[in-house]
Amino acid sequence: MLNLMATTLSPGATLAKRTCVFDRLTASSPNIKSATLTRISTADLRLLFELYDKIFFDHRFTQVYQGRLKFSLSQRMTKSAGKTFFPRHPDKISPGEMTIEIRMGTDFFFKYDEIDCDKTVCGITTTSALEAFLLVFEHELCHVIEFIHFNNSNCSGKRFKTIAKNIFGHTASYHELPTHRQIARVKYGLKIGDPVTFTYEGKKVKGILYNINKRATVMVGDKNGNYTDKRGNRYTKYYVPLEFLV
C-alpha cells in the first residue's frame, strides 16, 4: 500500500507548497478571492482537498484511499475550528464503503480580523484568515491520513504529532484564534456579569450580561419571566448582538 505518511518536508518546502495551495485556491474559487474569508462553500473544501492531494501528495491520497470523503461547513462550532468524523467500526466496513467527513467551522475565520492579537494555529503564527483556515484543514487531513493507515486517530498522540510535523510543520494540535468572549472584552470592553443596556422595541432595557457567543445572552429582570435565580428573582432572556449593547 502506498504510504501517505512517507512525506517529510523541510519548513521551506512546506511553506512553498502551502503558498501554492493558497494562490491556486484564490485563483479558482468563486468565493475566496483574497486572504480574508467572508464566504465559503463545500465545493471550496473539495477544491482545497484536491489542491492538497496534488501539491503535497502527488495524487497519492486518492490512490491510497478508496472510500468517500465528505466535506461540510458549520456556523455553530465555537471551540474547535475543524472536526473529522470517522466510522465507529472501520474493521466491519469494506474499504470502498468507508466515509470520512471533514467539517470546517466558519465562525473563527469570518471574525478573524475583529481584534489584533496573537492568532496561532497548530503552533504556527498566522497573519490571515485564509492561512489559519489552511492550517486547520491540514490538521483535519492529518486525522484522515492517520485513520486511513491505522483505523483510529488522536491528535494528542505522538504518532499524530509526528505526521503533522513531518508533512505540515505543525508543532501543536490546537488553535488560539479569538473567541467571541475575547472579542467582546477587547473590542467592546464587555465581560460576563457586566450590567448592560440595549434598546428593544424602542425602549431602553437594562440587564446583566449572562453569556457571550455569536450574540450576547442578557438576563433582564421581569416578574413574569421564565428564568429564576437562587434568590427567586425572575428574568427574561434576550439574545442581543454585541454591538447593540452599551
Please give the residue ranges that form the binding site for Zn ion (CB under 5 A). Answer: 155
Class of residue 41 by CB neighbours under 10 A (exposed 0-12, middle 13-18, buried 19+): middle
Tell me which amino acid residue 118 is: D
> Please, what is the minimum distance in Å from the beta carbon of residue 61 to Zn ion?
18
> Please, what is the minimum distance in Å from the beta carbon of residue 131 to Zn ion?
18
> Please, what is the minimum distance in Å from the beta carbon of residue 244 to Zn ion?
35
CB 25 within 8 A of CB 51: yes
DSSP output for 65-127: --SEEEEEEES--SS-SEEEE--S-GGGS-GGG-EEEEEEESHHHHTTTSS-S--EETTEE-S
Cα–Cα distance, 163 to 147 (Å, whole number): 12
Backbone φ, ψ for residue 35 (5° rounding): -75, -10
Q: Which is nearer to Zn ion, 172 or 183 (CB)?
A: 172
> Please, what is the minimum distance in Å from the beta carbon of residue 128 to Zn ion?
22
Q: Which is nearer to Zn ion, 77 or 115 (CB)?
A: 77
User: Which three cell numbers mark 190?
Assistant: 464587555
> Please, what is the minimum distance in Å from the beta carbon of residue 109 to Zn ion?
17
Cα–Cα distance, 142 to 168 (Å, whole number): 9
Q: Which is nearer to Zn ion, 128 or 154 (CB)?
A: 154
> Please, what is the minimum distance in Å from the beta carbon of residue 133 to Zn ion?
15
Q: Which is nearer to Zn ion, 18 or 103 (CB)?
A: 103
Q: Indicate the helix (H) or strand (E) that contains 26.
A: helix 11-28
Q: Which is nearer to Zn ion, 129 or 155 (CB)?
A: 155
CB-closest chain residue to Zn ion: 155
Q: Which is nearer to Zn ion, 100 or 216 (CB)?
A: 100
- Name the residue among 46, 49, 22 with its Cα closest to residue 33: 22
